[in-house]
Chains A and B, each alone.
Chain A
Amino acid sequence: MTNWPGYCRLLLIVTALAVLALYAAVLAIDPYDTGRFAFIHRAGVPLYGQRMADASRGRDPQFDSAVIGNSTIQLLDPARLDTALGGRFVNLTIPGTGPYEQLLVLGWFLRHHPGKVGTVIIGLDGNWCDHPRVFGPAGESYPFPAWLYAEEPWPYLDHMFSYKSLEAGIRRLGALAGRDPAARADGYNDYEAGKIYDPNAARTRMVNGGVGNDPAEDAAPGAAPPTDGARPEFAALAAALLSLPDSVYVALVFPPREAGSVPAPGSDAAALVAACKQKASTLAEAHANLRVIDFLNDGPISRPENFWDNIHYRGAIARRIEDAITQAKPAH
């Protein structure tokens, strides 16, 4: 071939074929194990971060119960919850997220477990209360793949023809073939693992706020004005819970903070926290089996020796929270 019409034809045909072949291959491999258009039906993904991996975990049929939130509720251990509460727990917490991202994950989990949800535990931290974020993509402190968790497939289809998805697809093939390690199915990610607690270092982090550990700093990029009383995230949470039968145990947990980060009585922050707790109680009125478990107080638990920084508590405290959730469970 040495003519221009042939050149144009070949260029367009090869482009079209290559694009279609790669697109079909990526969709069939299903890099994030979303179950959409997939040809591979084995669960699990490689060692992605929680943002990318929780789509796979959140639809895994072996689980019927979930922990939703960010790093302030991350230490709840699914295996212990299984024993204490019955059912099979998956930890779907994602660090650095706020209500917008967490409700997307909750919606994804609920849609993929219709009629068989046992327990849902949701951590309501500062991002829900005294450090509110914009409720939407603008409130993300790190880019969140909302397209992965969206109800309609179009944003997903749009993102699948991309270099990153192709790379992820190749990684997933490697993981399925056993060449690469797979991500943990129950999502448990113990931030204490391999670390030795040093009280002095912890106190330094508390004094300095510690990068990303101060709730105010965590919320900074998409922070909404704290006086904003509308709080659409609670309406969205109520709507999500509405789809659940009354038999489902819903635990709304206010995680503890180190005493220095508990709002002082009479402060604006304290008023915001009080309003937030009030909203949680209102939700309890609508759901027979919803319980509010409140650790956000200045008490023995908020002593600095229980914390790695202002908001990240130690394992022993996580066990206390697990126990409290278990004890609060309604009898039937």
Chain B
Amino acid sequence: MLFNSHLFLLVFLPLAVALYRLIPNRDAVRVWYLVAVSLVFYGYWDVSFVPLLVVSVLGNWGLSKLYQASGRRLLPATGIALNLCSLAYFKYAAFLVANLNLALNTSFAVDKVLLPLGISFFTFHNIMYLADLYRGRAPIYRLRDYALYIVFFPQIVAGPLVRHWELIPQIPKNPWGPDTAERLGRGLTLLIIGLVKKVLIADALAPLVNATFAAAAQHYVPGLGDAWAAVLGFTFQIYFDFSGYSDMAIGIALMFGFALPFNFDAPYRSLSLRDFWRRWHMTLSRLLRDYLYIPFGGNRHGLPRQILALLGTMLLGGLWHGAAWTFVIWGGLHGIGLAAGVLWRRYLAPMPAVLSGPLTFAFVVFAWVFFRSGSIGQAATMFSALAGAGGVHGARHLVSILIAALIAFLGPTSQDVALKRLRPVRWSAAAAALVLCLILLKLGDDTNYEFVYFQF
């Protein structure tokens, strides 16, 4: 079920928290309870994906136990390969076969495979653990602890991509200590902030963005104003959608006593692309850095190797988002941009912030056109529209874009508000309550959008 639904907010979450309080306060009971709750949450979407998830947990944990018994590093390596194969089958089979057919002029058919929700995320959790195991940096966990790491419902569908040594050591912490009320208050407030970002900001931008990009997909060249509004609209939509989702996930986890890593830190205020990737989808960035960029050579083997490592990392990072060339191009563009930044920093004087900030933002915005487009042709149509090929018409929805821009550029981050600045005073509790009530009203309307990141 969606975080932004009556069912989740009015039934599932209150019940899950209340029962969590009522069950015996022992590690084993708490962990198995959270695993069960998470499977209910996940299974509500499509119960037929639950067996795959359970097999994934048992298989990967079983490999770790076999590794413990035998000490053979082939085991985690095989596990990584198997996880990649499952991801390849579910996510990339159709793409691979279609491109193979195109290249070899063949006509292999492949059945359309339904993408299990969150597979990109839970597969990466498994792979991160096995990679650490391979490098001798991970302990062997209890089954229940490992299961919770993989299926914990706040993060199973779209992250944050948490590392096993961040989550599992928190399990023995008593969730009902003296700081419980503060944790619940701050967690709930962060959840409400995330809902505001998703329901009031991102969803308000969705109709314009969807309509204009859909028109471009039909080879209709949108007018100049609409094209810019759609591209800027998507820039803010994806930020508020995904960071709002991340806030909700972190807030909900906090209500159950777990601190998840932050995922966003005002990314559109970045002064360089390197800076952007330290503030955007931060948990994916550090994963790409630790498990691709550094193994590829990182910055310790000379400039050419570093640039190749950057390009390779970002191309794969792009492909991770989906089986399409537009994602590869998006990743490739960011790889090239990051490499250009490396060269600039090495050979040229630092760029003043008044230039580098807008330049970084413009680069990110143009790259989003590929990310949002279903095909290269659609992206090309959007670029021609941005240049005025569809005629110079005015734009709509400028006010929502302006509000979103002001918050993204000037506003504090949600974690700063909810976890640091928030004081337990009457007016803030009442304000949060009224905002929550407004959100619940909005969620009663028929137009609730799924999270953009659920498709990846």
Q: Interface on A for B, CB 8 Å cutoff?
A: 1-8, 10-15, 18-19, 22, 143, 158-166
Nearest chain B CB to A76 CB, angstrom units: 31
CB-CB < 8 A to A14: which residues of B? 429-430, 433-434, 437
The reply to whether A2 and B429 contact each other, CB–CB distance below 8 Å, is no
Alpha-carbon gap, A163 to B440, bound state (A): 8
Nearest chain A CB to B94 CB, angstrom units: 25
Proximity bits, B178-196, A CB within 8 Å = 1, else 0: 0001101100110000000
Alpha-carbon gap, A18 to B181, bound state (A): 22
The reply to whether A143 and B441 contact each other, CB–CB distance below 8 Å, is no
> Which residues, 408 to 441 on B, are CB-close (under 8 Å) to A?
423-426, 428-430, 432-434, 436-438, 440-441
Chain B: interface secondary structure? helix
The reply to whether B444 and A19 contact each other, CB–CB distance below 8 Å, is no
User: Top 4 nearest A-B pairs by Cβ distance?
Assistant: A162-B444, A14-B433, A7-B424, A4-B181
The reply to whether B433 and A15 contact each other, CB–CB distance below 8 Å, is yes
Alpha-carbon gap, A161 to B426, bound state (A): 26
With A10-B430, A11-B430 given, can you name 13 additional A-B contacts, CB distance below 8 Å?
A1-B424, A3-B181, A7-B428, A8-B429, A11-B188, A14-B430, A15-B433, A19-B440, A22-B437, A158-B6, A161-B444, A163-B438, A165-B444
Alpha-carbon gap, A18 to B426, bound state (A): 16
- With contacts A18-B434, A162-B444 known, is A2 near B423, CB below 8 A? yes
Nearest chain A CB to B7 CB, angstrom units: 10
Alpha-carbon gap, A164 to B429, bound state (A): 26
Nearest chain B CB to A261 CB, angstrom units: 26
Residue of A nearest to B188 (CB): A11
CB-CB < 8 A to B432: which residues of A? 11
Question: Is the C-beta of B111 less than 8 angstroms from some C-beta in chain A?
Answer: no
- With contacts A15-B433, A143-B446 known, is A2 near B425, CB below 8 A? yes
The 8 Å CB contact of A22, one of B182, B184, B426, B441, is B441
The 8 Å CB contact of B442, one of A10, A160, A163, is A163
Nearest chain A CB to B384 CB, angstrom units: 26
The reply to whether A1 and B441 contact each other, CB–CB distance below 8 Å, is no
The reply to whether A8 and B185 contact each other, CB–CB distance below 8 Å, is yes
Nearest chain A CB to B259 CB, angstrom units: 16
Query: Can you offer 29 A-B residue contacts whose CB atoms are under 8 A?
Result: A1-B424, A2-B423, A2-B425, A3-B181, A4-B181, A4-B184, A4-B424, A5-B181, A6-B424, A6-B429, A7-B425, A7-B428, A10-B429, A10-B430, A10-B433, A11-B188, A11-B432, A11-B436, A14-B429, A14-B437, A18-B433, A18-B437, A19-B440, A158-B6, A158-B444, A159-B444, A160-B444, A162-B443, A162-B445
CB-CB < 8 A to B426: which residues of A? 1, 10
CB-CB < 8 A to B181: which residues of A? 3-5, 7-8
CB-CB < 8 A to A160: which residues of B? 444
Alpha-carbon gap, A162 to B424, bound state (A): 29
The reply to whether A8 and B433 contact each other, CB–CB distance below 8 Å, is no
Proximity bits, B140-173, A CB within 8 Å = 1, else 0: 0000000000000000000000000000000000
The reply to whether A164 and B444 contact each other, CB–CB distance below 8 Å, is yes
- With contacts A1-B424, A15-B437 known, is A7 near B444, CB below 8 A? no
- With contacts A1-B425, A164-B444 known, is A11 near B433, CB below 8 A? yes
Alpha-carbon gap, A2 to B425, bound state (A): 5
The reply to whether B445 and A163 contact each other, CB–CB distance below 8 Å, is yes
Chain A: interface secondary structure? helix
The reply to whether B185 and A7 contact each other, CB–CB distance below 8 Å, is yes
Nearest chain B CB to A157 CB, angstrom units: 11
CB-CB < 8 A to A18: which residues of B? 433-434, 437
The reply to whether B442 and A8 contact each other, CB–CB distance below 8 Å, is no
Alpha-carbon gap, A323 to B436, bound state (A): 57
Alpha-carbon gap, A13 to B432, bound state (A): 11
CB-CB < 8 A to A8: which residues of B? 181, 184-185, 188, 429
Residue of B nearest to A10 (CB): B429
CB-CB < 8 A to B182: which residues of A? 4
The reply to whether A166 and B434 contact each other, CB–CB distance below 8 Å, is no
Alpha-carbon gap, A165 to B440, bound state (A): 12
Nearest chain B CB to A143 CB, angstrom units: 7
The reply to whether B430 and A164 contact each other, CB–CB distance below 8 Å, is no
CB-CB < 8 A to A161: which residues of B? 6, 440-441, 444
Alpha-carbon gap, A5 to B179, bound state (A): 10
Alpha-carbon gap, A11 to B14, bound state (A): 14
The reply to whether A162 and B437 contact each other, CB–CB distance below 8 Å, is no
The reply to whether B444 and A3 contact each other, CB–CB distance below 8 Å, is no
- With contacts A7-B185, A14-B433, A161-B6 known, is A2 near B424, CB below 8 A? yes
Nearest chain A CB to B335 CB, angstrom units: 42
CB-CB < 8 A to B185: which residues of A? 4, 7-8, 11
Alpha-carbon gap, A14 to B437, bound state (A): 9
Nearest chain B CB to A48 CB, angstrom units: 15
CB-CB < 8 A to A7: which residues of B? 181, 185, 424-425, 428-429
CB-CB < 8 A to B425: which residues of A? 1-2, 7
CB-CB < 8 A to B433: which residues of A? 10-15, 18
CB-CB < 8 A to A166: which residues of B? 441
Alpha-carbon gap, A162 to B439, bound state (A): 9
CB-CB < 8 A to B438: which residues of A? 163
Nearest chain A CB to B433 CB, angstrom units: 3
Residue of B nearest to A21 (CB): B437
Nearest chain A CB to B181 CB, angstrom units: 4
Alpha-carbon gap, A2 to B428, bound state (A): 11
Nearest chain A CB to B369 CB, angstrom units: 29
Proximity bits, B209-229, A CB within 8 Å = 1, else 0: 000000000000000000000
The reply to whether A164 and B445 contact each other, CB–CB distance below 8 Å, is yes
Residue of A nearest to B189 (CB): A11
Residue of B nearest to A160 (CB): B444
CB-CB < 8 A to A162: which residues of B? 441-445
Nearest chain A CB to B2 CB, angstrom units: 15
Nearest chain B CB to A20 CB, angstrom units: 10
Alpha-carbon gap, A161 to B446, bound state (A): 11
CB-CB < 8 A to A5: which residues of B? 181
CB-CB < 8 A to A2: which residues of B? 423-425
Nearest chain B CB to A153 CB, angstrom units: 16
Nearest chain A CB to B267 CB, angstrom units: 29
Nearest chain A CB to B175 CB, angstrom units: 14
CB-CB < 8 A to A164: which residues of B? 444-446
Nearest chain B CB to A190 CB, angstrom units: 30
